Structure formats: structure tokens, C-alpha cells
Chain A
Amino acid sequence: AQSVTQLDSQVPVFEEAPVELRCNYSSSVSVYLFWYVQYPNQGLQLLLKYLSGSTLVKGINGFEAEFNKSQTSFHLRKPSVHISDTAEYFCAVKINNQGGKLIFGQGTELSVKP
């Protein structure tokens, strides 16, 4: 069963525009939520995470995400993107009654154009 869904496979945007990358998960129990980023020709690295507490989490490079339990979403946002934000972004979920494995979404390719 799919635990995490990224609704957009590709998101093209112009530089300095705002962006939202959507992520929904399916679970009726508590979860940990993550966004990872993979820059061209580089390995994946953690962008931000939600474990508990404030539902708005801030990550590196000006990105933030909001955990919405009622909508089972964890959308990633940035108010003004740069060319250097061009990368693939992966949402991931750890469902806390499933032993600890981290499940990734399909990925969203963000392409920032001048």
C-alpha cells in the first residue's frame, strides 16, 4: 500500500516565484515526516523533518513545511526560489507502528528557470 504520495512529478517555476511541492500520506497512527533533496549529480540530503511539536517546520535554504494532520499532508514551500533550488525533492514518512522503515514518495522535479 502506498504510504506517501507526491502529487506533482514535475514543477517548473520562474526564479523568485513562490513554490509549493505537495505531499500526502496515508496513516491513521502517528508518523514522522521528512523532505529530502537531491541536487543534480549529488546524493540525497535531509531538508527538514517533523517529529512532534510545532506543525510548521523550517529547513535549510529557506524551505519550510507544514504538517496538517486532518488533511494528512506535509507540503513543502518556499516564498522565493533560486536557480540553485533546481533539484528533485522527496517526501518521506515513517509510520510509527511499522518498525521504523522510511518510505519515500515518487519525487518531484523542481525546475527553476531565469
Chain B
Amino acid sequence: GAGVSQSPSNKVTEKGKDVELRCDPISGHTALYWYRQSLGQGLEFLIYFQGNSAPDKSGLPSDRFSAERTGGSVSTLTIQRTQQEDSAVYLCASSLQWGESEKLFFGSGTQLSVL
């Protein structure tokens, strides 16, 4: 694909509902990141996948958040029992390899609004 693709671009949900956000990284990229961008909060690291290694989940804010990456490609970020404070832009990024190349390609994000 031409770039990192995220879907949906916008998601409006009611408090307490579960949501799934999808990320299609650039083909061949082994590293995949999820970040959350809120006004005045910068980019908050959520989770990082690198190849077949165990993901780094240290940024997930609560156990309502989880993510998986199937077949080393597509990733899904799931938020259970959404809360209003979960409202933010969720960004996915991928890179070719861990190490010297070190350039992240970002998707356009999913704007999540929890009412």
C-alpha cells in the first residue's frame, strides 16, 4: 500500500460501548506503534509491536485497552467500556525495521468521540 491506513477515520460511540480501531501498516514494515493524541497532551505512547517479539504494552492506560497484530501485519486496537476521557485521535505508525533506519510513517488517525 501507499502508506499507513487507519479505519475508521471518525468514530462516535456512546459511553460504555466497545470500539475497535484498525491499522494497516506499510507492507514489509516490521514495527508498528499505537499512539493517542489529545489536545495539550502531545503523543501518548500506547503499545509497540516489533516482529515476532512480545509487544511492549507499557503505555496502555488501563486494562480496558488491548491490541493485537495478526500475521505480523494488520493491527487492531480495542477499547472496552469506553469512557469520555478516551476521546482522542488514535494514531498508528509503522517503520521498516528497528535500528538504524528509524523513520516512522504515520497514518491519518482515527478521531474517537465518546458521548
Which residues of A are interface residues toward B (Cβ below 8 A)? 6, 9, 32, 34, 36, 43-46, 49, 51, 90, 92, 94, 99-107
Task: State whether B45 touches A102 (Cβ < 8 A).
Answer: yes
Task: State whether A99 touches B33 (Cβ < 8 A).
Answer: no
Chain A binding surface SS class: strand
Task: State whether A32 touches B58 (Cβ < 8 A).
Answer: no
- The answer, yes or no, to whether B23 is at the interface (CB within 8 Å) is no
Task: State whether A102 touches B42 (Cβ < 8 A).
Answer: no
Q: Which residues of A contact B44 (CB under 8 A)?
A: 104
B40-61 Cβ-contact flags toward A at 8 Å (1 or 0): 1111110010100000101100
Total contacts A-B at CB 8 Å: 56
Report the nearest A residue to B44, measured CB to CB: A104
Per a CB cutoff under 8 Å, which of B42, B45, B106, B108 touches A101?
B45
B66-96 Cβ-contact flags toward A at 8 Å (1 or 0): 0000000000000000000000000101000
- The answer, yes or no, to whether B107 is at the interface (CB within 8 Å) is yes
Task: State whether A100 touches B42 (Cβ < 8 A).
Answer: no
Task: State whether A106 touches B103 (Cβ < 8 A).
Answer: no
